[in-house]
Structure formats: structure tokens, C-alpha cells
Structure 1
Amino acid sequence: MTKFDSIRPYYDSEVNEALKSLLHHPMMKAMMDFTFPELEDEVWKEQLSRTHSIRDFQVNFVYQSIQRVLERSSEGLTTSGFEKLEPNTSYLFISNHRDIILDTSLLNVSLIDHGLVMTASAIGDNLVQKDFLLKLSKLNRNFLVQRGLSPRELLQSSKLMAEYMYHLLSKENRSVWIAQREGRTKDGNDATHQGVLKMLGMANDEARIMDFFKKLKIVPVSISYEYDPTDALKMPQLIALSKDEVYIKEKNEDFITLLSGIIGQKKRIHIHVGDVLENEYEKIIAENDNNNKQIQALAQVIDDSILQSYKLWPTNFIAYDILYKTTRFAHLYNEKERQLFERRLEMRIDADNETMREGFLAMYANPVVNKLKYTNDIS
């Protein structure tokens, strides 16, 4: 037993046994039929039963599954910034968060394509309540973020997770992915929660906390989907928030959202990785006299990178023009694109509900609003 056993993914020595236990599970068959429709069951079962490492499972199976998802539910994935990263080097990727599975899966596909170290990725334990999903997540190098804890348990859990991520980065040369906030962004306003950075800082072994963050080699990541496949599913929570009501999830809501994100139409997708944060820390220290202010300043640096490099699509400009009753960005989309977006708006929500309509439009428009904070020259 090690101190990280309650949250870590499988070791390679455990992979084969876990895969063999899933060979006859109907969800494994569904996944393999989707990924390799031309193969007889016995072929993929034989290949899985000869797989002994997470990397082999990811490269030979998960990578192929994500390619199928892209083929069937998108118009392709583009990337930028990866050429700045070094091979055989671990990074802490802090990303905006739109989709439960795809954000991290698409990042890993891109890392494979560029010959870079793949990530261990955080996932909420509420998403892997079913035994199959828990095993699959551990086979895909996910580590567990424990939810629904008491304040005391949360403190202990946060410290354990911080130590585990630092262990991966510093001892195992393993990159790590973590969302900039708990839960997906529902309103299109991507912002780094200081609590995430404070949690990471619990593993600090430096006199100055910014020296610790510098060791982590933080890379801000911006991921954008032309269509958010779970846009309508986010509406009930947004409406509850607008009424200052506590939102209670429906049974199986997380699982439905997970599936919708995978199979729902996304059109184009873009991932941009920003510069490794290196030179910003001394400036942060010079301008802020305590740890809280420094962490706040670091969150702003990450936000600046994510928001400025966020890829805007015609859907973002259309939503902005509709919401603000303007034609400011009409030159950046055509009439067909606008009609398709308006049809999606009509089909996916109750357009007579003004709160829901505004929430849906704002989800797509807010990335434009945020980009305008940095430049008026959007073209």
C-alpha cells in the first residue's frame, strides 16, 4: 500500500488483470464496436488481453476511439502552440473546462501526435461511480478528485492530491492535467479559481510559494468547441443560479452529460497551449506582498493566457450579435451559419423562456466579451 492508492490510476503491473476483468463487459463491447466496427470480437479481445501498460492501452485503443469520435461528431481538431513544448518533459497543464471526457482526451491525442509526454488527469469520483467507468478511468491514467467531503476531509484530500500531482511531475516525469476550476464552465466565462492553485500549493517545499509554482512548469491550455454538445444540458443549473436556488442534479445526470459530450455534434475544435510560465513569477513577487495576493495574481496570468488564445468561432460572434442586438461581427459569419445557430437555439431550449434564451446565448457570447477585454481588433 502507498499513500496514493485511494486516488491513483493503475500501475502498469495492474493493467492486464484490469483489462481481462472488462473483456466481457457490454460497455467494453460497445466501445470496441464503435472504435473497430470492422473487427470480430475475438480480435480486439485478444489484443486487449495482450496489453500490459497504460501507454499501450491509450495509444492502441483510446487514441483510436477518440479519432472515431472526431470523425463522427466533429469537423476536425486543430491545435497550436505544441511545438513550443519539449519532448520527455513533464508539464502541469491548467485548462479551461468544457467537456468531462473530451477536454483531457483531446489534449492527450494532441500530445501523442506531437511526441510529447501524456498526462495523468484529474476526474471527479462522482463521474466514475460505476465499476466499469472507474476501471476505465484508472486504465486511462485518471486520478480521483474526491467530492462531497466534510471540510476536514476535504483538507486532507486536497493535500493528498497536491502531493500526488507534485510526485508525478517531479519524480515520475509525468505531465498532469487539471481544470482551472471545479466542474465545467457553464456560462462561457472561463476563470481560474484560486482554490485550485491553493490546493496545488499544499505540496509546497520552497520558502517562496512562487518558486514552487515555477518548478511545476505550468502551461495554460485553451480549448474551444464551435458547438458545445452539452449546451442545453447546462441550462437548468444556470437558471437555478439566476434565481439563487441550490441546484440538485438528477439521477444519472453526470453519466448523461458524459455520453452527450462524446456523441453530440461539436463541429470544429481547437486546442491552444500557451507559453510555459517562467518569467512571470518575479514580477508577481515584486508587486504582491503576501501569498494570497500572489496566488490571485498567478490566477490572472493563467486567465490572460487562456482568454487571449481562445479560438473564437462563428457561433460565438452570432451569439454576441443576437444577444447585444448588433451587427458588429456580421462580417465573421455567413447567413447559413446564423440560420443553423438560430435553429439550434430553437430546438434545444424553450426560446420563450427569456432567462434560458439569454443564458444559452451568453454561453457562446462571453468568450467574445472576454477577448474584447484584451483587444478590439477581432477579425
Structure 2
Amino acid sequence: MSKFDSIRPFYDSEVNNALKEVADHPMMKAMMNFTFPDKEEREWTEQLLKTHSIRDFQINFIYHSVRKVLDLTSDGLTTSGFEKLEPNTAYLFISNHRDIILDTSLLNATLYEHGLLMTTSAIGDNLVKKPFLKSLARLTRNFVVYRGLSNKAMLEFSKLNSEYIREAIFSQNRSVWIAQREGRTKDGLDLTQKGILKMLSKGCENLSLKDYFLKLKIVPVSISYENDPTDVLKMPELLAKAREETYVKQKNEDFRTLMSGIMGQKKRIHISVGKVLDEEIDAIFENESSVNKQLQSLVEELDRVIVRNYRLWPTNYIALDLLNQSDEHKHRYSPKEKEEFQQRIQKGVEMDNPMAVKNFLSMYANPVIHKAKLQQLAP
């Protein structure tokens, strides 16, 4: 047995058996019939049962599912920065995180289209409770991050995750995707948790921390959706946080959010990848002597690049003006776009609840505010 068996994706040798087990599952049938509406069920089933690798499953099935989702639920995906990446080179993509499934699915579709290595991606164990979803996650090269454990167990799995990431990049030449924080950003403020870097640092072994981070080839990723298809679903947690209450998820809440993110309307989407943080890491380790300060400086650099490269949309500026009851940014959007956004609020938010309205608007306005603050702090 591999020490990574509790968290790893399927090996290619396991893929065909796994597909045979889920081929008749209602969710697999629904996904394939959605993806290939012009094909008889027998056609895609036969091809599915002849599939023996994760890459073939991703390219021949999942990629087409992603393109179908984009066609039906968005006004298109644009990208930037991918031309800076090298083929056959493994990177560690550290990304802001807005949607449970689409963030990684869209990144991998773009990597594939650019002839670049696709990723093995971190996924929370809360999202793979159902057997079918766990199989699908492993078939799309996700590895599990366990949450809500005791401190001792958390330390053990944190080290295991760090070792798996090292193994993927160094030994398998496989890129890795991880979010900059635990869970999705729900308030529009994309901030890196230092704990993510502490977890990564556990894998440095016989390398200095500086050399290890350089060898990981860290690339910041920014993804933005003009309309967040799960914006209304995020409201209960934001309201609980505003009231300083503990938020308890409802049964199947993660699954409903997952499906809403996939099938909800998003309008335009943009993914930007930065360059490898090599010069930045050199400078940080030259100027900071303590590990704590080095990690904090790297956190700040990741935030700076992710926020700088984040594409702002008319919805962001409309929300900020509505929040401030001004028209300062009216040159950034049209009257029609403002009307559509106001209708979105009225449809999804209790308008007689000022806190709910404020939280909804802040979710969209905060990226503008955050970007402006970072620009003011820039040297």
C-alpha cells in the first residue's frame, strides 16, 4: 500500500474498474447526456468502458463537459499569462477560490488547450462524502484535504498533503493546484492563509526552505466571475459571521452549492496566471531572516499578484457605487448592466434586511476596494 492511499487520486491501472462501477450511476448518466446530447447512451458508455487513464477520461469526457457548461452558462472564458508557462513543466498553482468545481476545471481545460501539464488538485473531504463524488474526484486527479480533525491528526495529514505535493511535482512531473485559503472566498476578499505555506514547508526535507519554494515553481492564479452563481447561497454564512455566530451548514448544502456553481449563470469569466515567483522568493529570503517573516512576506506577495491580476467586471463597480450610494464609477458600466444587477439583488436578497443587502453588495465591491488598497501600498 502507498502511504498516500487515504488521499490520492486513482492510479491509471485503477481507472477502468472505477469507471465500470460508476458508468450506470444516475449522476454519471445525467452528466454524459448533458455533455453529449446528440449521442446515444450506448455510444458514450462504450467509449467510457474503453477508457484506461485519467488523462483520457479528462480529455475525452470532462473537457467536453466543461466546454458545454461554458457554452450554456457563461458569456465566455478569457485567459491571460499562460503563454509564460513552459510545456512539460510542473508548477504549483496557488489560486484564489470562488467555485467548488469550476475553478480547477476551467484552469485544467485552459492548460490542456495550451499544451501544458494539467494538475492534481486539492479538494476538501466535505465534498467527497458521497461515493459517486469521491470516485469522480479521484477520476479527475483530485487529492483529499481532511478538515475538522484533532490537532494531532491535522498535523499528520498536513504533512501527508505536503509530501504528496512534493511527490507529484518532483517525482511525477505533475502540476498541483491548491487554494490560497481553506474553503472558498465568500466575501470577495482574496487573502492567502499563512497556514497553507506552513503546510507546504513541511515537504522541504533535505532542501533549504528557499530552495524548496523555488523548486516548486509557485505560480499565482486569479479567477473571476462577472456573476457569482452561488452569491445568494453564500449569504447565510456571511450573515452569521456578521452577527458573530457559528455557522452550521445544512444537510447537502455543499452539493447544492456545487451544482449551482456549475449550472448557474456566470456571464464573463477570466483566468489569469502570473509568472513563477522566483525573483520574489530570492528577495524575500535575502531580506527576511526568520521563517515566520519569510512566510508572511510570501503571503503578501501572493495576495499582491492574485489581486493585481484579478479581472474586475461592471458588477464589481455597480456594487461599490450602490454600497456608497454614489455614481463615482458609472463610466465602468451601462444603465442596462446596473438595472440587471439590481434585479439580481432583488430576486435573491431580502431587501428589507439591510445587513443582507450590504453583505451581498460587499461580496462584489470588495475586489475593487482590495485592489485599490494594494495599489496605494505598492512602492
Corresponding position of 2:135: 135
8 Å CA contact 1:187–1:362 kept in 2: the answer is yes
Residue deviations 1:61-111 (CA, integer Å, cap 9, x gap):
000000110011100000000000000000000000000000000000000
Distance change (3 Å), C-alpha of 1:207 and 1:115: closer
Equivalent positions of 1:212-223 (< 5 A) are: 212-223=212-223
Instruction: State the alpha-carbon separation in 1 of the partners of residues 341 and 215 from structure 2.
Output: 44
Residue 244 of structure 1 and its aligned partner are, at CA, apart by: 1.0
Normalising by structure 1, report the TM-score: 0.98
Instruction: State the alpha-carbon separation in 1 of the partners of residues 208 and 283 from structure 2.
Output: 13
Root-mean-square deviation (CA, aligned residues, Å) is 0.9
Instruction: State the alpha-carbon separation in 2 of the partners of residues 243 and 206 from structure 1.
Output: 47
Equivalent positions of 1:209-248 (< 5 A) are: 209-248=209-248
Name the amino acid aligned to 1:143: F
Corresponding position of 1:16: 16
Q: Percent same amino acid among aligned pairs?
A: 59
Instruction: State the alpha-carbon separation in 2 of the partners of residues 119 and 161 from structure 1.
Output: 15
Residue 374 of structure 1 and its aligned partner are, at CA, apart by: 3.8
- After TM superposition, the structure 1 stretch with the greater mean CA deviation from structure 2, 62-71 or 322-331, is 322-331
Instruction: State the alpha-carbon separation in 2 of the partners of residues 207 and 132 from structure 1.
Output: 39
Corresponding position of 2:325: 325
Corresponding position of 1:302: 302
- After TM superposition, the structure 1 stretch with the greater mean CA deviation from structure 2, 82-91 or 140-149, is 140-149
Instruction: State the alpha-carbon separation in 2 of the partners of residues 28 and 207 from structure 1.
Output: 44
Corresponding position of 1:93: 93
Instruction: State the alpha-carbon separation in 2 of the partners of residues 106 and 226 from structure 1.
Output: 15
Residue 211 of structure 1 and its aligned partner are, at CA, apart by: 2.0
**Structure 1 consecutive aligned stretches of length 4 or more whose deviation exceeds 3 Å:** none
Name the amino acid aligned to 1:355: M
Equivalent positions of 1:155-194 (< 5 A) are: 155-194=155-194
Answer yes or no: is 1:67 the counterpart of 2:85. no
Residue deviations 1:237-264 (CA, integer Å, cap 9, x gap):
1111111111000000000000000000
Equivalent positions of 1:255-270 (< 5 A) are: 255-270=255-270
SS in 1 for 2:79: strand
Instruction: State the alpha-carbon separation in 2 of the partners of residues 272 and 242 from structure 1.
Output: 31
Residue 206 of structure 1 and its aligned partner are, at CA, apart by: 4.7
Instruction: State the alpha-carbon separation in 1 of the partners of residues 147 and 220 from structure 2.
Output: 24
Corresponding position of 2:313: 313
SS in 2 for 1:203: coil
Corresponding position of 1:356: 356
Instruction: State the alpha-carbon separation in 1 of the partners of residues 289 and 85 from structure 2.
Output: 32
Corresponding position of 1:2: 2
8 Å CA contact 1:224–1:269 kept in 2: the answer is yes
Name the amino acid aligned to 1:237: E
SS in 2 for 1:75: strand
Gaps of 5+ in 1: none
Instruction: State the alpha-carbon separation in 1 of the partners of residues 23 and 90 from structure 2.
Output: 32
Residue deviations 1:153-210 (CA, integer Å, cap 9, x gap):
0000000000000100000000000000000001000000000010011111255322
Instruction: State the alpha-carbon separation in 2 of the partners of residues 312 and 206 from structure 1.
Output: 42
8 Å CA contact 1:221–1:271 kept in 2: the answer is yes
8 Å CA contact 1:112–1:118 kept in 2: the answer is yes
Residue deviations 1:248-302 (CA, integer Å, cap 9, x gap):
0000000000000000000000000001110012221232221011000001111
- After TM superposition, the structure 1 stretch with the greater mean CA deviation from structure 2, 22-31 or 98-107, is 22-31
SS in 2 for 1:188: coil
Instruction: State the alpha-carbon separation in 2 of the partners of residues 261 and 46 from structure 1.
Output: 29
- Number of residues paired by the alignment? 376
SS in 2 for 1:2: coil
8 Å CA contact 1:211–1:281 kept in 2: the answer is no
Residue 375 of structure 1 and its aligned partner are, at CA, apart by: 3.8
Residue 5 of structure 1 and its aligned partner are, at CA, apart by: 0.7
Residue 60 of structure 1 and its aligned partner are, at CA, apart by: 0.5
Name the amino acid aligned to 2:311: K
- After TM superposition, the structure 1 stretch with the greater mean CA deviation from structure 2, 16-25 or 86-95, is 16-25
SS in 2 for 1:246: coil
Name the amino acid aligned to 1:94: I
Residue deviations 1:278-328 (CA, integer Å, cap 9, x gap):
001222123222101100000111111000010000000100111112222
Answer yes or no: is 1:103 the counterpart of 2:73. no
8 Å CA contact 1:125–1:144 kept in 2: the answer is yes
Name the amino acid aligned to 1:263: M
SS in 2 for 1:192: coil
Name the amino acid aligned to 2:372: L
8 Å CA contact 1:98–1:184 kept in 2: the answer is yes
Answer yes or no: is 1:289 the counterpart of 2:295. no
Instruction: State the alpha-carbon separation in 1 of the partners of residues 313 and 206 from structure 2.
Output: 42
- After TM superposition, the structure 1 stretch with the greater mean CA deviation from structure 2, 206-215 or 289-298, is 206-215
Corresponding position of 1:28: 28
Gaps of 5+ in 2: none
Corresponding position of 1:77: 77
SS in 2 for 1:137: helix
8 Å CA contact 1:210–1:294 kept in 2: the answer is no
Instruction: State the alpha-carbon separation in 2 of the partners of residues 329 and 217 from structure 1.
Output: 38
